[in-house]
A and B are shown apart, each in its own frame.
Chain A
Amino acid sequence: MTDNYEQPEERKSSFMPIIIAAGVTISFVGLVIFIPLFVVGLIIVALALLKVFKDDSEEKFSQLKEQPEEQWPLEKAGKEKVGVWVFIMSEILIFGSLIAAYFYVRTNSTTWPVATQTHNPIIGMVNTIILLTSSLAIILGLYYIKSGKTFGLKIGLASTFSLGLTFLVIKLGFEWPELIRNGFTINSGLPASTYYALTGVHAVHVAAGLVAVGYLLLRAFNGGFTVTKHSGVENVGLYWHFVDIVWMFLFPLFYLI
C-alpha cells in the first residue's frame, strides 16, 4: 500500500455521478408518465452538475499517484482519460443501437421519402461544417494551452461554444419548426419519428457538451488551466469530437440517402 491509500481523507470521491444518474432516470420516467417529474429530474441533474463544477474548480478531483500494476495495461493514458473512453464506449452503444434500429426500419419499409425532398442538404452541409469547425477550435484550444498560451485556449473554447450553439439554433430554431410547419411531425410516420429521435438525442448531447465547454470557458477565464494542468480540456474535447463523429453519420443518413 502506498501512503496515498493509507490516508483515506486524501481520496476525493463524489456521490454526484450517482445523483446525476438518478436525476436522468427520473427525467426519462417523467418524460413518459408525468412531465413535472421530468422537470424535477432536470433540476436534480443541474444541482448535481453545479456541485461537480464547484468541486472540480477547487481541485478536489486530483488524481492519486498509482502503482505501476494499477496502471496496466493503459500506463500512458491515465485513468481520467480511460474513464472518458469507457464513457464514450457507452455512447457508441446508445447511438449504435439507434442507428441500427433506423437501418432495420428503413430497409424493411416498402416506401421511404427521398431525403432531399424532405430535408435541405445544404443546411445539413452547413451544420456539418459548423460542427467540424467547432472540433477544430477545441483541439486548437488544447494545443495552445499545452504551449502555455491561455489566450489561445480562451479563443478556442469560446469559438467551440459559439459554433455548437449555432448548430443547435439552426437545428432546433429553424429546421425543426420548418419541418413541423410542412407536416413532418414526430407522429407522421417512421421516417419522421426516426429523424426526430436520432437528431433529438444528438442535439441533447450537443447541449450537454455546451454545458461542459461553457464550464471550461469560465474556468479558463479564472486561470484554471496551465501548461501542466489541462486534462479537463482534453477530456471534454474527446466527448465533443465523439458528438461530431455521430453527426458525420446522421448527416448522410437523413439528408443525402
Chain B
Amino acid sequence: MPRIKLYVGIWAGLVVATIMEVVTRSLPGAVSLLTLTILLIASAKAIFIALYFQHLRFESWRLAVLPISAIIGIALLAISAAFSMNMGG
C-alpha cells in the first residue's frame, strides 16, 4: 500500500495538470497543436489515476490486460465504423 504522501502528490499533480489544460486553451498558437496538447494532458491524467488510484501500478500486469483490451477493442470498432461510414457502407 503506497503512502499518503504519494496519493496527495498525485492528486496535486492532477490538479496542476487540470489548470494547465485551461491555461493551454488561452495560449496563442495553432488550434490543432493546442488541442493535441490538451488531449495529451487529459490522457496523462487518466493514466495516472489508473496507475495510482486504481492501483494498476501495484497489481499484476495480467489485470491491466482487461481495461487495455477494452480500450483497444473500442478503438478498433470506432475506426472501422468511421471508415465504413465514410466509404458509404
Among A100, A237, A244, A245, the most chain B Cβ lie within 10 Å of the Cβ of: A245
Pair A136/B42 contact, Cβ less than 8 Å:
no
Smallest CB gap from A144: residue in B? B4
Cα(A81)–Cα(B49), bound, Å: 17
Mostly helix, strand, loop or mixed at chain B's interface? helix
Pick the residue among A85, A89, A125 that contacts B22 (CB under 8 A): A125
Q: Mark B1-18, 1 if CB is under 8 A from A, else 0.
A: 100100110010011001
A18 at the interface (CB under 8 A from B): no
Cα(A242)–Cα(B38), bound, Å: 20
A143 at the interface (CB under 8 A from B): yes
Would A77 and B42 be within 8 Å (CB), given that A97-B74, A97-B77, A257-B35 are in contact?
no
A118 to chain B, nearest CB (A): 13
A162 at the interface (CB under 8 A from B): no
Cα(A86)–Cα(B25), bound, Å: 36
Would A88 and B7 be within 8 Å (CB), given that A125-B22, A256-B38 are in contact?
no
Size class of B's contact patch? 35 or more
Mostly helix, strand, loop or mixed at chain A's interface? helix
Cα(A116)–Cα(B88), bound, Å: 34
A50 at the interface (CB under 8 A from B): no
Complex interface residues of chain B between 22 and 71 (CB less than 8 A to chain A): 22, 24-25, 34-35, 38-39, 41-42, 45-46, 49-50, 53-54, 59-60, 62-63, 66-67, 69-71
Would A96 and B60 be within 8 Å (CB), given that A132-B11, A242-B54, A244-B49 are in contact?
no
Q: Mark A91-110, 1 if CB is under 8 A from B, else 0.
A: 01100110010011000000
Complex interface residues of chain A between 93 and 151 (CB less than 8 A to chain B): 93, 96-97, 100, 103-104, 116, 121-122, 125, 128-129, 132-133, 135-136, 139-140, 143, 146
**Neighbouring A residues of B21 by C-beta, 8 Å:** 125, 251-252, 256
Cα(A143)–Cα(B7), bound, Å: 10
Pair A77/B1 contact, Cβ less than 8 Å:
no
Cα(A73)–Cα(B54), bound, Å: 19
Pick the residue among B4, B34, B35, B60 that contacts A76 (CB under 8 A): B60
Given contacts A89-B67, A244-B49, A257-B39, 8 further A-B contacts (CB under 8 A): A88-B67, A97-B77, A104-B85, A122-B22, A133-B11, A237-B54, A251-B21, A252-B42
Q: Which A residues contact B (CB, under 8 angstroms)? A: 73-77, 81-82, 85-86, 88-90, 92-93, 96-97, 100, 103-104, 116, 121-122, 125, 128-129, 132-133, 135-136, 139-140, 143, 146, 237-238, 241-242, 244-245, 248-249, 251-252, 256-257
